[in-house]
Structure 1
Amino acid sequence: MVGPMAHSRARANPADGKPPVRRAASAAAVLFLLVGVLGFVPGITSGTADLRFAGHDSGAHLFGVFQVSALHNLVHLLFGVAGLVLARTVDGARAFLVGGGAVYLVLWVYGLAVGHDTGANVLPVNDADDWLHLGLGVGMIALGLLTGRARR
Structure 2
Amino acid sequence: MSASSASPGIGAGHHRTPLELTALTAGAVFALVGIVGFIPGITTNYSQLGFAGHESGAMLLGVFQVSILHNIVHLLFGAAGLLMGRTVTQSRYYLIGGGAVYLVLWLYGLFIDQGSAANFIPVNTADNWLHLALGIVMIALGFVLGRNASHSRQP
Task: Give TM-score, length-normalised by structure 2.
Answer: 0.86
Gaps of 5+ in 1: 1-13
Question: Using the alignment, how far apart are the partners of 2:100 and 2:62 within structure 1?
Answer: 26
Separation (CA, whole Å) in 2 of partners of 1:69 and 1:92 = 29
Give 1:81's aligned residue: 79
The answer as to 2:100 corresponding to 1:102 is yes
1:64 is the counterpart of 2:76: no
Deviation at 1:74, TM superposition (A): 0.2
Consecutive unaligned residues in structure 2, runs of 5 or more? 1-11
SS state of the match for residue 16, structure 2? coil
Aligned-residue CA RMSD in angstroms? 1.2
Tell me, in whole angstroms, the C-alpha distance in 1 between the residues paired with 2:54 and 2:120. 6
**Rg comparison, structure with higher value:** 1
Runs (4+) off by over 3 Å? none
SS at match of 1:148: helix
Whether 1:141 aligns to 2:113 is: no
- Which region of structure 1 is more displaced relative to structure 2, 127-136 or 81-90? 81-90
Structure 1 residue aligned with 2:48: 50
Cα distance between partner residues in 2 of 1:26 and 1:55: 30
Using the alignment, how far apart are the partners of 2:32 and 2:84 within structure 1? 17
Which residue number in structure 2 is paired with residue 151 of structure 1? 151
1:22 aligned onto 2:20: yes
Q: Deviations over 1:26-84 (max 9, x none)?
A: 00000000100010100000011000000000000000000000000000000000111
Q: What TM-score, normalized by structure 1, do the two folds share?
A: 0.88
Identity of aligned residues (%): 57
Instruction: Give me the whole-angstrom Cα distance separating, in 1, the residues matched to 2:73 and 2:17.
Output: 27
